[in-house]
Structures are given as structure tokens and as C-alpha cells.
Amino acid sequence: MISASLLLLSTVTTIASSAAPADTIVAPRRDSTTVQPDTSFKFTVGGFLDTYVAYDAGRPRTLDRAYTTQPARHNEFNVNLAFVELGLSGPRVRGRLALQAGTSVQSNYAGEPRVGSVSGPDLGRLLQEAYVGYEVKPGFWVDGGVFYSNVGMEGWVSRDNPIYTRSLVADYSPYYSAGVRATWQATSKLTVRADIVNGWQVISESNEDKTLGARLDYAVTPTTSISWYGLAGNEPGARLRLFNGVGIKTKVGTRVELMAQADVGSQEPADSAGTAAESSTWYGAMIIGRVTLTPTATLTGRVERYDDQDQVLIATGSANGLRANGASIGLDVRPASRLLWRNEARVLAGDAAIFPDRDGTGGLSKRNLVVVTSLALTF
């Protein structure tokens, strides 16, 4: 009797296991029709906050400091630059969206043109970068949107530069562009970039012409690289603007870093009479040296020269335009891995009285001194 019962139980169990009822959960088979999560794409989220206070010896009455993007305000606690970013990278696809605000943004994007009713800085200044990219073949990328410019050695984000303020040659060349760029890692040492953009540091178009840009970066040694960059395009009120520059970065031992840059530009003024007109030119140069004092402290110095006598880029109201020499010294301390405290004193000496100064003749002076301290957080 027991044997018969066991046989019956075994039979029922076998039938039940071969035909599960409708409410029984059965693990799906992992065949080609099963959709799996795509883990090949990587998303990154981050941000940056740079707070500062600066004292300008000229004490400008409007508190706006002249001929600079940062620090842009006198005797005022404020935010130089704050941004949040979302990045994506994956097989043959990449992109970055970074939204920004701050006094440097207000200053740098003030020249965005308004042509039509939906252009200008209202939207443009919010977009630090907004681009998507596709890898056409290994090492060759094409990106479209808003991205950092192809020119210069100093960058837009303060933490990425050897010293807090920007040299004149950096502040008066483009930080950003809007258009299409192609980047090719030609060899392990050579990177080639070509751009087609709306114009000279504009997101909103100011005319119907486009500007061409190019850049070459070559790693001479593991510690030394040289760069060439250029822009060529028609600007409003001019036939052609040409711009070229060269730069170098190098390390001397383990504690000393050097960076140098020299730029020259020319512009052909528009001539309604149809005859050739003499081109206007400008140039600028700077040298930066940085010494690591301790694992958390660095000392930086910069000397610079800028000459835009023809006032192609900078209208000063003076017959000599902006012709000035400058010197800076800065001390950086990193009390924590994501925290950076920066201090700098900078002096500019011009050929003419162009710097706002309450005590100067006519409210202007030939010299300008600013002292700034900044506390920045990367998150």
C-alpha cells in the first residue's frame, strides 16, 4: 500500500513539473530575443563652483572691472563660475551638456550678437558646452554643437589654468565656438583638429559667412608639447580676419612647469569704394611658470604683453588702443582633494590712461592693480 502511494505521488509530481500552471513564475530563457541592459555607455555627472572676492585699486564706480572676464567685479563677494555637467561616452558616441552661470559668464558672453528675435546671449551664455559626437573611424571624431574654441593655451574653467586670472591674449581670443569640429588622433603624438563655426566667439550668427579653424598639438616628448592654431573668416564690417598662434607646455624636473603663447591677428577693413585698404593688426604673448612648493601648494608667475593699437578687438577711446605689459603672482593651496584656494596679485601698465581709476585724471590711469582670492569646489 505504501509502495502504491509513493508511485502515485511520483507520477503526479512528474506531471506537475512538466506542465506548470498559469500562475507559476518560470525563468525566461537567455536566447537572442531577450533584451539586455546596455552597459557599454557611460554617463558622468559633475559640477564646479568658483566663488571669489577681488579688490581693484582703481575702484571702478560701476564695480565692473575693465578688460577682463575674471575676476569681473570689484569689492564684491560673488560667483565667478558655476556649472553642472552631464557627459556620455560609449562605442562611437560621445556628448557633453554643461549649463553655467557667474560674473565671468556675464562678461564673456556680453558680445553675443542679436540678429533677429531669437538670438543673443540670453540662451547662449547658459551653454558652456552642448555637443554630440560620432566616431567615424577609430581615432577620428566629428562633433556638432557648442564647444570650447580651438585656440589658445589657457582655458575657460579657472581650476584648469596655472594662475587664476586670464592673460589679455586669452581674454581677447575665443573661448567657445558653435559649429562642427573634426578631431583626428593622427599618431600617438599628433592630434589634428579642424572646425567650421559661426564666427569669432559667437553662438548666434552675426552674418551669413562661416569661419574656418584648425589646430595641431604635437607631443615632442612625454613632458613637452607644442601647438599651432588658427582662425580665418569674415567678420561684420570687415572683409577677412586672420588669426594664428603658437604655444608650448613643458615640465622641468618634477616641480617646475612652463607654458608660453604668442598670437598675431590681422583684419582687412571693409571698403565700399572697392579699393584695397591697409590691414589692421594686433598681437599678444605671455609666459607662465609654476613651481610646486609642497604636495598641496604651488607658486605661479606670469608676464605678458598685448598690443591692439588699431583697436580691432578692443575699443578704448584712446589713440593708442590697448597696449600694455602685465605681471602676476599667485599662490594656490589645495586643503582637500576637491577644494582649491587661489590667490593672485596682477598689475597691468598701459601706454595710455585707459584703466578706470577714481583718483586718476579724468577718472583714468595708465596702471591697474587687482588682488583676488577664490575658493572653488569640484563635485
Residue-wise pLDDT for 131-148, tens only, equals: 999 999 999 999 999 999
Residue 293, pLDDT > 70, answer yes
Q: What percent of the chain has pLDDT over 70?
A: 88
The residue-averaged pLDDT of 335-341 equals 96
The percent of residues above 90 in pLDDT, for the chain, comes to 80
* Three-state DSSP state, 8: helix
pLDDT at 239: 84
What's the pLDDT at 206?
A: 87
User: What is the residue-wise DSSP string for 127-190?
Assistant: EEEEEEEEEEETTEEEEEEEEE-S--SS-SSGGGSSSSSPPHHHHTS-SEEEEEEEEEE-SSSE
How many CA atoms within 13 Å lie on the side-chain side of 109? Answer: 24
What are the pLDDT digits (tens) for 206-236? 888 999 999 999 999 999 999 999 999 998 8
Q: Compute the residue count for the chain.
A: 379
pLDDT band at 343 (very low <50, low <70, confident <90, very high): very high
Give the other-Cβ count within 10 Å of 372's Cβ.
21
Q: What SS3 class is residue 353?
A: coil
Q: What is the pLDDT of residues 222-280, one digit of tens each?
A: 999 999 999 999 988 778 999 999 999 999 999 999 999 999 999 998 765 455 568 89
Residue-level pLDDT at 272: 54
H helix or E strand, kind and range, residue 369: strand 367-378
Q: What grid cell was written down for 113?
A: 550678437
The DSSP string of 182-240 is EEEE-SSSEEEEEEEESSTT-SS-SSS--EEEEEEEEEEETTEEEEEEEEEE--TTEEE
* Cis? peptide before 138, omega within 30° of 0: no
**Which residue reads 512538466 in cell numbers?**
18
pTM for this predicted structure: 0.86
Mean pLDDT score across all residues of the chain: 90
Q: Identify the CATH class of 41-378.
A: mainly beta
Separation in Å, CA 156 to CA 10, 198, 379: 76, 19, 17
**Band of residue 333 on the pLDDT scale cut at 50, 70, 90:** very high
